[in-house]
Amino acid sequence: MRMLLSRCANNNISASSTTTTTKKVLRGGGGKALSSSKRSSKRSLGGNFIVFASTKKKRIFIDGEAGTTGLQVRDRLEKRSGDIELIQLPDSLRKDAKAREEALNEADCAILCLPDAAAVEAVALVTNPNTVIIDASTAYRTNDEWTYGFPELSKEQREKVKTAKRISNPGCYPTGFIGLTKPLVENGFIPKGLRTTVNAVSGYTGGGKQLIAIYESPEAEPYGAYGFNLNHKHIPEMRKYAGLEHEPIFQPAVGSFAQGMLVSVPLFYDNMANVKSGKQLQECLKEWYKDSAFVSVREYNQTDDLERGAFLRADGLRDTNKLELSVFANDEKGTCLLVARLDNLGKGASGAAVQNLNLSLGLDETVGL
């Protein structure tokens, strides 16, 4: 269900629903109620206008819904029925500070799909202590006052997400890196002081509308590595939540496919603790994620499902909220490769945001995913 907010002639905000699932009551200037149904709650949207709505529905506002991640979040939420309403601003008001402020404070949960600076500005507009904010930018990911929105990080992390009012949505690359390394650090296989490297390739949608336009033109290169200043904005997040003492060397790249991602972490047995076989690492990961709805661990050295018997497709989990982990190893040489596969716009962005929304509002974690 969607709730559309628009300006009235007297510069107030009104609300109209695009469905009739739950009726609204609008009052203005002392006039009579137009209709009434399920008057179980009421909140002001500005001026004299009041919206009555069923308490069974959670109201969601996506600030920045016209962007790549915002559109994906909206598409996932619009397919749902019965448990949520979308608060939406007309195109003319999407950058109107007053309209955004009212929508942000009206929402049970606001998902920010904005650049870092704009996200900080949006957070400053929220005065309603009950509004849950999920920020998809990098602005708050290493801020200790915010809860990191990776429920699978630990059992404790899931509980933190459930009760948090400020949730930072993980980055796409860090989701893969942390998903692979955190359990191995916690179980002592990867020393906290180990210096690591991580290589990754993402679909071009991760670069937003500008990069999408480039890659959907005839001039686009088939593959491009970047991050040569060795200061990618995801690096601090990777180090912190993997539990490492040192930042990894990170080499990202973009491929000529829209959605998908592979994140690889190469390791030597000699640099780890008590590792005799890569099977130990695979079993550790499998135990860690055994109860997860979205994270799976492939069989040790599994190659029977590779494309043409050789290739692990980066886009194999497109349009899902899944994170798939693999351990490939050569015990004789004492080397292994940890590989994570995910959709950069799914578990790496919009899917994770919806998962965090579900948990924070007390809904089924898997709804809409």
pLDDT at 81: 76
Integer Cα distance of 272 and 188 in angstroms = 8
Only one residue has tokens 């708050």, namely 140
Rounded Cα distance, 183 and 282, in Å: 10
CA 153 to each of CA 80, 149, 285, 352: distance values in angstroms, whole numbers, following the listed order? 27, 9, 12, 13
Q: Which two tokens stand for residue 197?
A: 């490297």
Q: Which tokens in the block code for residue 187?
A: 């179980």
Written as one string, the DSSP assignment of 3-47 is EEEEE-TTS-EEEEESSSSS------TTPPPS-----S-EEE-ST
123 close to 133: Cβ distance less than 8 angstroms: yes
Q: Whole-angstrom distance between the N-terminal and C-terminal Cα of the chain?
A: 17
Place of tokens 């109201």: 59
Tens of each residue's pLDDT in the chain, 369 residues: 455 554 433 334 434 343 323 323 222 333 332 222 332 333 434 433 333 344 578 999 999 999 999 999 999 999 987 899 999 999 999 999 999 999 999 999 999 999 999 999 999 999 999 999 999 999 999 999 999 999 999 989 999 999 999 999 999 999 999 999 999 999 999 999 999 999 999 999 999 888 999 999 888 888 999 999 999 999 999 999 999 999 999 999 999 999 999 999 999 999 999 999 999 999 999 999 999 999 999 999 999 999 999 999 999 999 999 999 999 999 999 999 999 999 999 999 999 999 999 999 999 999 999
pLDDT of res. 143: 97
Q: Give the side-chain half-sphere CA count within 13 A for 361.
A: 29
Sign (positive or negative) of CA dihedral 275, 277, 278, 284: negative
**How far is the CA of 207 from the CAs of 188, 248, 321, in angstroms?**
35, 22, 19
Structural domains in the chain? 2-139 (3.40.50), 172-344 (3.30.360.10)
For position 16, what pLDDT does the model report? 38
Q: Which residues are catalytic?
A: 172
Q: How many Å apart are CA 308 and CA 318, to the nearest integer? A: 19
Q: How far is CA 152 from the centre of its chain?
A: 13
Map 281-345 to HEC letters: HHHHHHHHCCCCCCEEECCCCCCCCCECCCECCCCCCCCCCCEEEEEEEECCCCEEEEEEEECCC
Alpha helices in 17-136 (DSSP H): 68-78, 97-106, 116-125
